[in-house]
Chain A
């Protein structure tokens, strides 16, 4: 069920501004791929282009192709809603629905997409919450507001919500940047478990995190203000962090700039 993603000469625009230029890379199924790079180099933009979330921003569009197994998600007649059901996303800031309880948050995707049976929903919620490693913490307050949990718990509710709809790919945009080291560890453990079933792409500023959780790493960079971001190098995580081909990658991962 996990699928492979091929990105072919993808460029992303906000109106006339070209934010990302000519990215070509592939994401292996049932593995974790990390995107690293300095702020503003377009990691989030590329990630959001992978489930057609990019175009939600007014004026934003892309050129190039993104293949999910064989199918171009930007092909003619492709329904973005269908794409997003297949490719789930976790955002940088936890964003549980404030009007819903923990349980309703977790099954929101299922319910809004038509699943009605209460007992099935409850089972699915438990499965997703166990999957997100949150079941024991919240099983006594499933009916309390989702916004009443701690930030780390909220983020794991959001992960549970994303995996409850059983996507084939999971995109995570700095999922731990608002979290403490313990919650971060919990989410990293979770990623390690999820990799058996899902294709995962994670954006992170934390190099240790990238080296801990990912098999492959892509390094993005930007040559100057107003210039488009580019993919500099993509390789196995081990190679990127120990012996990268590009000088710029080495400078970045070792903390030497300019």
Chain B
């Protein structure tokens, strides 16, 4: 055959490589050894089996790669495998929570769940729904957003565009402190300030105030980060056209950072939509429908889940699961809506 002589001389740039089938073979080998160990005893459980297989594969791959390809490739393969492993480990809880919630939540995912409240439904009764809680969550989260988002965005604009010196540093420190504020403390603050000191009654609005306190630092921090990412060259380009500073911020800086700002706001919404403790303290909770957030006790989805899950009856626990599923869907729908709004808004601006 003439192909042997026609081959170019081996390049010094091409190193020795493990054959393509090596990882597959190593997985097979690791599985086989772990299987033997399972029979013999040490790997005699699903977790043990997976752990043994994974470790054996990692060791085998690193050793083989080190022997054939050298140290750099061995480290590359090891770290790549570790990153994939971390990814899987991270996704497992997320996916299993979703699957579990969907599986258990489907039992009561029916129209009466979304059209009736728990009024006159005893713990042992089947039926009933979370309409009152859903209304409460929607109103409280929207009111909290209406407070926290404008204030948060203005604070972020101040910090990025105007803030220099002591006052800005103080504001920034306070935002940091607020980020670490336990949610129960926000609830206690509203309880002592709004309800006890000012003598206002329990209401959804009081809950919204507590949620706004929790949401504010998240909105400030994420917006601040996004505004800082906008290159100064764009601000200067705008100034050079004789555009005043406020207009540059409103028409150039914020639109450029908008998708990131929306993401930050949605993170804030997701965070507070699931808060139970502050809502428990200041909305009091009720089993009846109360569409007026400004007077009288109101329920909310986390509260509903918390109360139903604590009851020793399957019908109540089923309701709790469906409540949890509804909460997840609510946050996802809000997220989707926000993305669509940004998308169309940008499309309109871009024309």
Interface residues of chain A, those whose CB is within 8 Å of chain B, are 51, 53, 56, 58, 81-82, 84-86, 88-89, 91, 93, 95-101, 104, 108-109, 112-113, 143, 145, 158, 161-162, 165
- In the assembled complex, the CB of B274 is this many whole angstroms from the nearest CB of chain A, namely 33
Selected interface stretch from B20-28, B71-79, B141-149, B237-245 = B237-245
Beyond A91-B233, A112-B247, whether A53 also contacts B241 by CB under 8 A is: no
- In the assembled complex, the CB of B303 is this many whole angstroms from the nearest CB of chain A, namely 41
Interface residues of chain B, those whose CB is within 8 Å of chain A, are 164, 231, 233-244, 247-248, 251-252, 255-256, 258, 346, 349-351
Q: Bound complex: CA of A108 vs CA of B241, how far in Å?
A: 8
Residues of A within 8 A of B233 (CB): 91, 93, 95
- In the assembled complex, the CB of A47 is this many whole angstroms from the nearest CB of chain B, namely 11
- In the assembled complex, the CB of B90 is this many whole angstroms from the nearest CB of chain A, namely 32
Q: Bound complex: CA of A112 vs CA of B244, how far in Å?
A: 9
Give which listed residue, A58, A81, A96, A100, contacts B242 with CB less than 8 A: A81
Give which listed residue, A97, A101, A104, A108, contacts B256 with CB less than 8 A: A97
Is the Cβ of B236 less than 8 Å from the Cβ of A91? Answer: yes
Is the Cβ of A51 less than 8 Å from the Cβ of B244? Answer: no
Residues of A within 8 A of B350 (CB): 99-101, 104, 143, 145
Is the Cβ of A91 less than 8 Å from the Cβ of B237? Answer: yes
Offer 20 A-B interface pairs, CB within 8 angstroms, sorted by A. Answer: A81-B242, A81-B243, A81-B244, A82-B242, A84-B239, A84-B240, A84-B241, A88-B240, A91-B240, A95-B231, A95-B236, A98-B234, A99-B255, A100-B350, A108-B243, A112-B248, A143-B351, A161-B241, A162-B241, A165-B241
Q: Bound complex: CA of A63 vs CA of B235, how far in Å?
A: 24
A90 closest partner in B (C-beta): B240
- In the assembled complex, the CB of B53 is this many whole angstroms from the nearest CB of chain A, namely 47
B258 closest partner in A (C-beta): A99
Residues of A within 8 A of B258 (CB): 99
Is the Cβ of A53 less than 8 Å from the Cβ of B351? Answer: no
- In the assembled complex, the CB of A138 is this many whole angstroms from the nearest CB of chain B, namely 15
Is the Cβ of B241 less than 8 Å from the Cβ of A113? Answer: yes
Beyond A58-B164, A91-B233, A95-B233, whether A85 also contacts B242 by CB under 8 A is: yes
Residues of A within 8 A of B248 (CB): 112
Beyond A99-B349, A101-B351, whether A109 also contacts B239 by CB under 8 A is: no
Residues of A within 8 A of B238 (CB): 97, 108, 112
Beyond A84-B242, A112-B251, A165-B242, whether A97 also contacts B351 by CB under 8 A is: no
Residues of A within 8 A of B251 (CB): 112
* Consensus secondary structure, chain A interface: mixed
* Consensus secondary structure, chain B interface: helix
Beyond A97-B256, A99-B256, A101-B351, whether A53 also contacts B242 by CB under 8 A is: no
Beyond A58-B164, A101-B351, A143-B351, whether A158 also contacts B242 by CB under 8 A is: no
Residues of B within 8 A of A113 (CB): 241-243
Residues of B within 8 A of A112 (CB): 238, 241, 243, 247-248, 251
Is the Cβ of A56 less than 8 Å from the Cβ of B236? Answer: yes
Residues of A within 8 A of B242 (CB): 81-82, 84-86, 109, 113, 165
B232 closest partner in A (C-beta): A56
Given pairs A82-B242, A97-B252, A97-B256, 17 additional interface contacts (CB within 8 A):
A56-B235, A56-B239, A81-B242, A81-B243, A84-B239, A84-B242, A89-B240, A91-B237, A95-B236, A99-B252, A99-B255, A99-B256, A104-B349, A108-B243, A112-B248, A145-B350, A165-B241
- In the assembled complex, the CB of B111 is this many whole angstroms from the nearest CB of chain A, namely 43
- In the assembled complex, the CB of A132 is this many whole angstroms from the nearest CB of chain B, namely 15
Q: Bound complex: CA of A101 vs CA of B247, how far in Å?
A: 19
Q: Bound complex: CA of A244 vs CA of B237, how far in Å?
A: 36
B257 closest partner in A (C-beta): A99
Q: Bound complex: CA of A255 vs CA of B335, how far in Å?
A: 61
Residues of A within 8 A of B231 (CB): 95
Residues of B within 8 A of A84 (CB): 239-242
Residues of A within 8 A of B256 (CB): 97-99
B233 closest partner in A (C-beta): A95
A144 closest partner in B (C-beta): B350
A58 closest partner in B (C-beta): B164
Residue with the highest number of chain A CB atoms closer than 10 Å, among B235, B236, B349? B236
Residues of A within 8 A of B234 (CB): 95, 97-98
Q: Bound complex: CA of A214 vs CA of B7, how far in Å?
A: 59
Beyond A104-B351, A112-B251, whether A99 also contacts B346 by CB under 8 A is: yes
A109 closest partner in B (C-beta): B241
Top 9 A-B pairs ranked by shortest CB distance?
A85-B242, A109-B241, A89-B240, A95-B233, A84-B242, A112-B243, A99-B255, A95-B237, A81-B244
Q: Bound complex: CA of A100 vs CA of B241, how far in Å?
A: 15
Q: Bound complex: CA of A158 vs CA of B237, how far in Å?
A: 9
- In the assembled complex, the CB of A8 is this many whole angstroms from the nearest CB of chain B, namely 23
Q: Bound complex: CA of A7 vs CA of B258, how far in Å?
A: 41
Residue with the highest number of chain B CB atoms closer than 10 Å, among A58, A98, A99, A113? A99
Is the Cβ of A97 less than 8 Å from the Cβ of B241? Answer: no
Residues of A within 8 A of B247 (CB): 112
Q: Bound complex: CA of A104 vs CA of B255, how far in Å?
A: 14
Q: Bound complex: CA of A210 vs CA of B256, how far in Å?
A: 36
A143 closest partner in B (C-beta): B351
Residues of B within 8 A of A161 (CB): 237, 241
Beyond A99-B346, A100-B349, whether A51 also contacts B243 by CB under 8 A is: no
